[in-house]
């Protein structure tokens, strides 16, 4: 890596806490190397209390762009000059690009999910989705799916800290897109059963079932599935959650959140460089293990 650094090397990176576990530096630096780009990507452990000063430092250094991970995705919005339409509706940013000192925030998580759907061999445009959750990942998926042309989305959420925000986002999407979005209380099992029965795809956008709580499942059994239902989970650790295992055993096609991670990074890469990440190389080296 040191041998590649020159006086013209363009810096990108990741801000969050913790960040030591992130695969993003390996993924982006490999892509830069493969495309012979004089760029570098570093991870910086920056918590919310230091975010403002870190962002101004990156602006002053003319850093090309950076990613945000928890806990900085919401707070960063207040520190930027512009937001993409999706980031504006969702109130969260995971990618920032610096154009001559103007910082613009994007959210690529939803793009990553929709690309992962295609990678799994499915086309859900013009079809109906049922989505569990109203947190960060679920919101990004909701917004991008509506923008991309999913015809109807039924969102199920508990009345938690995200619920009021979800109400506003649903209203915004109904006004700004052609997608019919409805927010339901997760506790209403009869409505949940009806909506899943009418859906082409079911998405778990919550952390239920994530390691180490691998025996947890957002559905108690497989009675709500139907054979034509695609079942996906944003979780990738474990690779197969209890929800996905139940769906697979029922006969549904399934996929996890691993390639959502890959493709959201690829979209960030494209925003910064204007080039396509060499997906197949990155898949083989870091994801197909």
The distance from CA 177 to its chain's CA centroid, rounded to whole angstroms, is 20
- Is residue 73 part of the annotated active site? The answer reads yes
**Rounded to an integer, what distance in angstroms lies between the CA atom of residue 274 and that of residue 276?**
7
**Rounded to an integer, what distance in angstroms lies between the CA atom of residue 98 and that of residue 114?**
25
119 CB neighbour count, 10 Å cutoff: 15
Q: Exactly one of 50, 73, 275, 283 is catalytic; which is it? A: 73
Please name which of 289, 284, 229, 287 lies closest in space to residue 260, comparing C-alpha atoms: 287
128 CB neighbour count, 10 Å cutoff: 18
Question: How is residue 275 written in tokens?
Answer: 């080039």
CB 137 within 8 A of CB 166: no
Instruction: Give the residue numbers marked as catalytic.
Output: 73
């Amino acid at each position: 890596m040191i041998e590649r650094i020159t006086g013209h090397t363009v810096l990108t990176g990741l801000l969050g806490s913790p960040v030591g576990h992130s695969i993003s530096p390996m993924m982006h630096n490999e892509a830069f190397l493969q495309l012979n780009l004089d760029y570098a990507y570093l991870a910086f452990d920056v918590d919310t209390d230091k975010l403002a000063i870190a962002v101004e430092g990156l602006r002053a250094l003319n850093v090309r762009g950076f990613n945000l991970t928890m806990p900085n995705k919401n707070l960063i919005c207040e520190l930027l000059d512009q937001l993409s339409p999706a980031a504006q509706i969702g109130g969260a940013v995971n990618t920032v690009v610096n154009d001559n000192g103007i910082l613009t925030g994007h959210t690529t998580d939803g793009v990553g999910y929709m690309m992962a759907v295609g990678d799994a061999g499915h086309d859900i445009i013009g079809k109906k989705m049922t989505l569990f959750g109203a947190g960060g990942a679920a919101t990004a998926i909701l917004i991008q799916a509506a923008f991309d042309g999913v015809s109807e989305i039924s969102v199920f959420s508990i009345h938690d800290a995200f619920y009021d925000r979800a109400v506003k986002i649903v209203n915004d999407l109904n006004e700004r897109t052609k997608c019919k979005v409805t927010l339901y209380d997760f506790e209403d099992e009869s409505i949940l059963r009806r909506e899943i029965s009418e859906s082409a795809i079911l998405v778990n956008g919550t952390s239920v079932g994530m390691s180490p709580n691998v025996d947890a499942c957002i559905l108690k059994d497989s009675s709500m599935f139907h054979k034509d239902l695609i079942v996906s989970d944003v979780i990738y650790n474990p690779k197969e959650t209890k929800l996905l295992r139940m769906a697979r055993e029922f006969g549904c096609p399934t996929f996890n959140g691993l390639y959502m991670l890959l493709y959201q990074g690829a979209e960030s890469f494209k925003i910064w460089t204007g080039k396509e990440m060499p997906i197949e190389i990155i898949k083989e080296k870091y994801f197909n293990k």
